Amino acid sequence: MQLRKRLWRRSAKGSVAVEMAIILPIFLLLLAVPLYLARIFWVYSVSEKAAHDAARYLSTATQAEMRTTGGGFNEANVAATARWIAQQELEGVLSFTDVIIIDVQCNGGGCGVTLPATVHVGIQIALHDTLLDGMTSTLLGSSNMTLNSHATFRYIAD
């Protein structure tokens, strides 16, 4: 009787290691996916806030600031300032991105000369995946994801 117990104990010694080898990749995946999604939502939240703040600045600019052009081929000063506001707020997410495009528009075109009825700021971010690169490129065809944030406000004249 004791011989059978000893044989059984010896044969079950490696079962914990085998179970761990099977379950560990699943646990790591369950940990990595929420971290990846949290990063995506965080970058999107930052870009929405940056677009909102830049558009809010444009909507409250004075008439004199709106009519002042940048001169030559430069954009209007208020548009450049709104772009700068968005860039400053997006500084924290630069390490996760490939390209950031900030589009500032007044009435669907450039700002300056005339007073707009609406102002719009759009931000497009090409987000690259460093955490699950191999898996996302296999599933999506590319490891890059594009996030778009938009904010449109009515222009409030003085």
Q: What is the pLDDT of residues 61-84, one digit of tens each?
A: 888 888 777 665 677 788 888 999
Q: Give tens-digit pLDDT for 21-35.
A: 899 988 888 887 888
pLDDT at 8: 56
What is the model's pTM? Answer: 0.76
CA–CA dist 143, 136 (Å, integer): 5
pLDDT at 73: 61
* Alpha carbon separation from 87 to 14, 20, 41, 69 (Å, rounded): 56, 46, 18, 21
Question: Domain limits of the chain?
Answer: 2-154
pLDDT at 67: 79
Residue 93, both tokens: 């997410």
